[in-house]
């Protein structure tokens, strides 16, 4: 069993991005600038945003951080998005999700200029991705593709089962795994809350991608001998065994599943670290006008 080491690969990519920023700056170009809007005080979101901003600075990007109280109006947020859309100093814009219930997620996403949509959530980017045209790829699916690619894992003709159909992970990764590309060219099955025989379907998978949002959902009996398992889940589980009072678990029961796998991502240290670095990679592409000219 080989661990798909998100820590190692994200560190390599971070260095690649930092080198490219140095090259841009040496050539007299401006540093890439990522704007992050957060609304409310959700603890998980605050941790992600802090981590994104910190990594931006580590690779030499500038970042513009806009934090609003949970009571901010939809109009206020939409106005801010429009202001950033029109600000040439800012290359990429993300609005951290989830948003408070009184703010429409789809309105927010559709207000972002698709050319600055480095989360790849705008329908134009989603549609272009589905058609195999150049677009910003959502960061978590892009991180999974990078891991498969950098470990030279064969995906062509393989049975790939995706657990979960979210707009952020399940749906886009299923499109990327089936499209005519490498990694890609897999035969993809998506399972979700209404699927029947999930266990039997998972047990057929050569590549199992789990983004179902339930701690330790996948047990050893659901995994074929020699499978590649990608775990997108991340959960804080109360524990008396650790000083912090919690343990981090994925959607896969790692200890019993790992011995059956050819490759598996650890949690933490797998997909999570790749997500942030792929967001920065998109921001670099945006600053260089590489997707849209």
Query: Among the candidate windows 94-102, 104-112, 225-233, 256-264, which touches ligand GUN by CB under 6 A?
Result: 94-102
What gap in Å lies between CA 96 and CA 7, rounded to an integer? 23
Q: Which regions of 60-141 does DSSP assign to beta strands (E)?
A: 62-68, 92-95
Interacting residue with ligand GUN among 9, 35, 56, 94 (CB under 6 A): 94
Residue nearest to ligand GUN (CB): 97
**Least CB distance to ligand GUN at residue 162 (A):** 17
Which residue is catalytic, options 52, 80, 116, 158? 52
The residue (of 138 and 183) whose beta carbon lies closer to ligand GUN is 138
- DSSP character at residue 222: G
The answer to whether residue 139 forms part of the interface with ligand GUN (CB under 6 A) is yes
The residue (of 119 and 146) whose beta carbon lies closer to ligand GUN is 119
The answer to whether residue 271 forms part of the interface with ligand GUN (CB under 6 A) is no
The answer to whether residue 5 forms part of the interface with ligand GUN (CB under 6 A) is no
**Least CB distance to ligand GUN at residue 167 (A):** 10
Give the binding-site size for ligand GUN (rule: CB under 6 A). 8
For 283, the token pair is 């921001």
The answer to whether residue 283 forms part of the interface with ligand GUN (CB under 6 A) is no
The answer to whether residue 53 forms part of the interface with ligand GUN (CB under 6 A) is no
Q: Which regions of the chain does DSSP assign to beta strands (E)?
A: 2-3, 33-39, 62-68, 92-95, 159-163, 187-191, 207-210, 228-231, 235-238, 246-249, 263-264
Residue 270, CA atoms < 13 Å, CB-side half-sphere? 28
- DSSP character at residue 264: E
What gap in Å lies between CA 140 and CA 279, rounded to an integer? 9
The answer to whether residue 251 forms part of the interface with ligand GUN (CB under 6 A) is no
The answer to whether residue 97 forms part of the interface with ligand GUN (CB under 6 A) is yes
Asked whether the beta carbons of 68 and 96 are under 8 A apart, the reply is no
Is 288 marked active-site? no
For 115, the token pair is 């050319």
Q: If we measure between CA atoms, which residue out of 190, 155, 159 comes closest to residue 172?
A: 190
Query: Among the candidate windows 92-100, 177-185, 244-252, 255-263, which touches ligand GUN by CB under 6 A?
Result: 92-100
Asked whether the beta carbons of 191 and 222 are under 8 A apart, the reply is no
**Least CB distance to ligand GUN at residue 234 (A):** 10
The answer to whether residue 168 forms part of the interface with ligand GUN (CB under 6 A) is yes
What gap in Å lies between CA 132 and CA 119, rounded to an integer? 17
| CA trace torsion 150, 253, 162, 235 (10° rounding) | -90
Interacting residue with ligand GUN among 96, 126, 174, 281 (CB under 6 A): 96
Is 119 marked active-site? yes
The residue (of 96 and 178) whose beta carbon lies closer to ligand GUN is 96
The residue (of 37 and 222) whose beta carbon lies closer to ligand GUN is 37
- Looking at residues 100 to 129 of the shown chain, list those that interact with ligand GUN (rule: CB under 6 A): 119
Q: Which residue has the tokens 């134009």?
A: 124
Burial class for 53, CB neighbours closer than 10 Å (0-12, 13-18, 19+): middle
Is 52 marked active-site? yes
Which residue is catalytic, options 5, 91, 96, 117? 96
Tell me which residues are annotated as active site: 52, 96, 119
Q: Where along the sequence are the contacts to ligand GUN (CB under 6 A)?
A: 94-97, 119, 139-140, 168
């Amino acid at each position: 069993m080989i661990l798909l080491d998100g820590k190692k690969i994200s560190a390599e990519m971070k260095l690649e991005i930092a080198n490219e920023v140095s090259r841009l700056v040496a050539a007299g170009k401006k540093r890439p600038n990522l704007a992050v809007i957060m609304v409310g005080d959700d603890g998980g979101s605050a941790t992600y945003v802090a981590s994104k901003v910190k990594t931006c600075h580590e690779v030499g990007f500038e970042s513009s951080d806009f934090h609003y109280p949970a009571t901010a109006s939809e109009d206020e947020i939409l106005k801010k998005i429009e202001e950033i859309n029109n600000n040439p100093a800012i290359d990429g814009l993300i609005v951290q999700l989830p948003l408070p219930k009184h703010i429409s997620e789809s309105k927010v996403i559709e207000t972002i200029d698709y050319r600055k949509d480095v989360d790849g959530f705008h329908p134009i980017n989603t549609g272009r991705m589905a058609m195999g045209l150049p677009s910003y790829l959502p960061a978590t699916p892009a991180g999974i593709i990078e891991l498969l690619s950098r470990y030279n894992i064969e995906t062509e003709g393989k049975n790939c089962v995706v657990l979960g159909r979210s707009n952020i992970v399940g749906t886009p990764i299923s499109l990327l795994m089936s499209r005519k590309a490498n990694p890609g060219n897999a035969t993809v099955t998506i399972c979700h809350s209404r699927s029947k025989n999930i266990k039997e379907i998972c047990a057929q998978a050569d590549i199992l991608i789990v983004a179902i949002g339930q701690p330790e959902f996948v047990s050893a009996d659901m995994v074929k001998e020699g499978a590649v398992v990608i775990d997108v889940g991340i959960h804080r589980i109360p524990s008396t065994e650790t000083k912090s009072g919690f343990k981090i678990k994925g959607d896969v029961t790692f200890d019993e599943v790992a011995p059956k796998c050819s490759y598996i991502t650890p949690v933490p240290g797998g997909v999570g670290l790749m997500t942030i670095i792929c967001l920065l990679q998109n921001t670099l592409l945006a600053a260089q006008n590489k997707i849209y000219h």
